[in-house]
Structures are given as structure tokens and as C-alpha cells.
Chains A and B, each alone.
Chain A
């Protein structure tokens, strides 16, 4: 069974804090993704990575950065958290080739910035 785990289910941070969200997958997937989920907006891609140390901006990268030092781990960093970054954050992973496109999601981290 594919497993994508996220370091926290719930997180409360103060405005201006640096926030780290961690994601680990155990399927040797090449691709990893970070999304944020907001009501009425669906899932929006923040960043993705197709290989170790490689990253690409998604649709809403402003205010975020990422790090992928190992294949199984993909971190999302909020350099200076703001209240408009209060959201559900979802990590996903997938293979590059073969059975295409299925992304496996973690359970999400609900971040509240006060």
C-alpha cells in the first residue's frame, strides 16, 4: 500500500513565524507535489518536484519555498507565515512513467496562522 505521511495533522502558528511542513512517501515515487485546499477553490498546486533537488513552481508559489534533499521527502516552507496562508495543505506523490498520472495524497495538514 502506498503511503504518504505528513508531519502534522493540525498546526497553529503566529504571523511572521517560519513554518515547515514535512511530507514523506514510501513508494520510491519520482514526483512530489504540494497543494493547498480551500473551500470553493479546489486544490491549487504550490510547488512540485520531479527529482531530488529539482523543483518547479506551481500556480500559487508566492510566499512559499520547498526543499527536496532526499527522494522520499519533500518539505514546504512558509518563510514568514501570514493569515492568508491559513489553509489545508496536501502533499502528493506519483511515478513519472508507467501507469500515468495517479497521484497519492497524504491526509493533509490544517494550518492556522493567527
Chain B
């Protein structure tokens, strides 16, 4: 059962454009929604995260938009650069017993063309 659905599977954007990746979740108990960025040959690294009590979080060119009623959240990359080319994973988590398990989406491979 896929609890976090991510789309699109791949995305091509021109340099300077906006990249948008969408995720939807099922479990309303999730209370933390991070995005991880993975470059080829590297492990994923935390990019930005949001809690459901806010509708938007911005860090530089990266913004998470969160729609609690629709159970959806998305990553927007403004002014996309070739260096942003990577695989992006959304995730959802609920703290349980002092530890957190992340449920990951399937990933989106982003290519930013110069």
C-alpha cells in the first residue's frame, strides 16, 4: 500500500523555469513532511520540511506548499538551475515512541537544461 504518492516520475525544465513536484498522502496522522534531494552516487539529504500547521515554507528558491484538507503537498523550485538536477523524494512521518519512520514517495528525477 503506497501511503505517499508522488508525481511526476520525471521532469524536464529549462534553466530559469519553475519545477513543481506533487505528493499526496493518505494517513491524516502524519505530522511531518520533508523533501529529500539525491544527487547521483550520493545518499538522499534533507532539503526542506514542513509541519501541517503551516501552509507554506520557503527556503531560498525552494518552497513547500501544503494543503491539509486535500492531503497534498508540493515542492516548487523557482529559477531552476542545472545544479538542481537530482532525484527528489517527498516523505511523511509520524513520531511514534520517540523514533520516526519516514514513508517515502517513489521519487522524481528532475533534469534542468541550460
Binding site for B on A (CB under 8 A): 4, 30-31, 35, 40-45, 48, 50, 58, 90, 92, 94, 96-97, 100-108
Contacts and interface: CB of A to CB of B under 8 A. Distances in A.
Interface residues of B, number: 24
B43 A105 contact: yes
A50 B99 contact: yes
Chain B contact surface mostly: strand
Contacts of A106: 43
Nearest to B41: A107
Interface stretch (B13-21, B57-65, B76-84, B103-111): B103-111
A103 B104 CA distance: 12
Nearest to A35: B104
A101 to B, nearest CB: 5
Interface of B: 6, 9, 32, 34, 41-46, 49, 89, 93, 95, 97-102, 104-107
Contact of B100 (A40, A44, A101, A105): A101
A42 B106 contact: yes
Given A31-B99, A42-B107, A4 B89 contact: no
Given A50-B97, A100-B32, A104-B45, 8 more contacts: A31-B100, A35-B104, A42-B105, A42-B106, A43-B102, A45-B102, A48-B101, A102-B34
